[in-house]
Chains A and B, each alone.
Chain A
Amino acid sequence: MELIASSRIVKAQQRVEASRPYAIQLTDAMEDLARNSGSFTHPLLEERQEPRTAGVLVCTSDRGLAGAYAANVIKEAEGVLASVRERGLEPVIYVSGKKGVGYFRFRGVPIEADWQGHTEVPSYDVAERIGRRLIDDFAAGTIDELHCAYTDFRSAFTLRATAKRFLPIAPEEVTGTSEETVHPEYLFEPEPERILDHLLPQYLITKVYAALLESAASENAARRRAMKAATDNADELMKILTRQANRARQDEITTEIMEIVGGAEALAATSEDDDG
């Protein structure tokens, strides 16, 4: 299992890498749009005046045997939930992965929606389904903001449970910091407002997809580590037990030899008595 997980880390990492050009270009396009269109307003960018609820998307795993992977990200999510409650907001929970569903269900915490069966190899389709649902709920007012707790894959050895706010999208996040020249002749087809209508949801879905991919890579890394520890531990145990078994067998043989020798000597002694 350690080997399976190792090979999956590589694949998961490749998927993270492969998703990067799109994310970079999309952000780029959005920055351009923000700079070059006069108005940059959209419901997804607007802070709600009096927020009542906050959605929290928790990215966990479907399977266990990954050490504290699921527990760590759930702990992070609990931190977000606590801070949300502190602000007087009602949390609304969305879960990706069976482990998270099990955790919240066991504690009787209601789950608004959950998605399972994809966490090791998340496809873009799943991200799109999750993203659309979240956008719809945000638009309908079921949630007034959205946070996401996932595991950031820094390297195979550094996995960090992180929480980020996804909605509303902070305008600073997409307008960029570079002071590039504004093109007066910039063309939009159709008008920027309508492009934004498609661009912003796409941006959110891409973020959800990135979170799922990072989580998948982390899950496999965590699993490999757990399985390596388990294998090492089992090897160690086997060594100790083999030694104990050998010693016990040796003891038994020694005792038996002693008994035979003792018995033989006793027999010899009796026969000598008989002769005499």
Chain B
Amino acid sequence: MAFEVHVVTPEREVWAGVAETVIARGVDGEVGILTGHAPMMVQLAIGPLRIDREGDGELAAVVDGGFMHVTSSGGEDGQPATRVDVLAAQAELAGDIDVEAARVRSAELEQALQSHDTHLAEAEVASIKAELEKALARISLAG
């Protein structure tokens, strides 16, 4: 039994299709969705999103946080129709990731963290760390 999946960012719809399983990394741990799942809202961490497509292999993407919203509305044949929406500020399919750029970026960010450790404000450190995490997530998925 398959269900509809949409991966959207504010700038565009990154992917839409039909899947059997969706596995995402929530802030409190991994979450897997199968058809007929209860309605749910998950806050996502920066990490991989795996979509198992019906007979079409697995599709991997990286999402920079956001939310996963699982809904089930009354389907036509009496079966509830499950639908998963992944809402992320940024999302990239594994095939679209520029690994080299991510490597360069992670090296830069690590450098920034080490060399300026003392005079950076706490908020700045946090934002650099988040950026670094995004770059590393891309490398680990595609590299």
Which residues of A are interface residues toward B (Cβ below 8 A)?
Answer: 15, 18-19, 21-23, 25-26, 28-29, 32-33, 36, 123-124, 127-128, 183, 185-190, 192, 194-195, 198-199, 202, 205-206, 209
Contact = CB atoms under 8 A, between A and B. Distances in A.
Interface string B1-22: 0000010111111000000000
A15 B9 CA distance: 12
Nearest to B67: A29
Contacts of B9: 22, 124
Contact of A187 (B11, B41, B43): B41
Nearest to A17: B12
Contacts of B39: 32, 36, 183, 185-187
Contacts of B42: 188-189
A36 B72 CA distance: 14
Contact of A28 (B27, B66, B69): B69
Most buried by B among A33, A185, A190: A190
Contacts of B13: 18, 21-22
Given A21-B6, A29-B85, A189 B11 contact: no
Most buried by B among A19, A21, A26, A32: A21
B40 A189 contact: yes
Given A128-B89, A195-B43, A209-B10, A189 B67 contact: no
A25 B10 contact: no
A189 B31 contact: yes
B26 interface: yes
Question: How would you classify the secondary structure of chain A's contact residues: helix, strand, loop or mixed?
Answer: helix
B87 interface: yes
A1 B79 CA distance: 56
A21 B8 contact: yes
B96 interface: no
Interface residues of B, number: 25
A183 B38 contact: yes
Nearest to B29: A189
Interface string B93-126: 0000000000000000000000000000000000
A18 B11 CA distance: 6
Contacts of A209: 10
B63 to A, nearest CB: 13
Given A33-B41, A185-B39, A190-B43, A195 B67 contact: yes
Contact of A198 (B10, B67, B71): B67
Interface in B20-38: 26-28, 31, 38
A209 B89 CA distance: 12
Contact of A199 (B27, B67, B71): B67
Contact of A18 (B12, B26, B28): B12
A199 B88 CA distance: 11
Contacts of B27: 189-190
Contacts of A189: 26-28, 31, 40-43
